[in-house]
Structure 1
Amino acid sequence: MWTKHHKERKLGRFVLPLITVAFLSYFGYHSLNGDLGLVATEKFERQRLERVAELGQLTERRRELERQVQLLSDGSLEKDMLDEIARYQLNVSRDNEIVIFNNYF
Structure 2
Amino acid sequence: MRHEPGIAKERLFRGLSLAVLVLMGVFAVAGPSGLIAWGENQRMLEQRQAKLAELRLERDRLKNRVQLLNPKKADPDLAGELLRSNLNVARPDEMVMLLP
Q: Normalized against structure 1, the TM-score is what?
A: 0.65
**Offset at residue 15 of structure 1 (A):** 4.5
Identity of aligned residues (%): 23
- Aligned counterpart, 1:84: 81
Give ranges in structure 1 of 5+ residues lacking alignment: 1-5, 101-105
Give, as a single letter, the amino acid of the residue that structure 2 aligns with 1:96: M
Give, as a single letter, the amino acid of the residue that structure 2 aligns with 1:73: N
CA distance in 2, matches of 1:96, 1:86: 16
- Asked if structure 2 preserves the Cα contact closer than 8 Å seen for 1:31 and 1:37, the reply is yes
Give ranges in structure 2 of 5+ residues lacking alignment: none
**Offset at residue 44 of structure 1 (A):** 1.8
**Offset at residue 63 of structure 1 (A):** 0.7
**3-state secondary structure, aligned to 2:95:** coil
Q: CA RMSD in A?
A: 3.1
Pairs within 5 Å for 1:1-105 = 6-7=1-2, 12=8, 15=12, 18-73=15-70, 75-88=72-85, 90=86, 92=88, 94=90, 96-98=95-97
| Structure that is richer in helix per residue | 2
Aligned length: 93
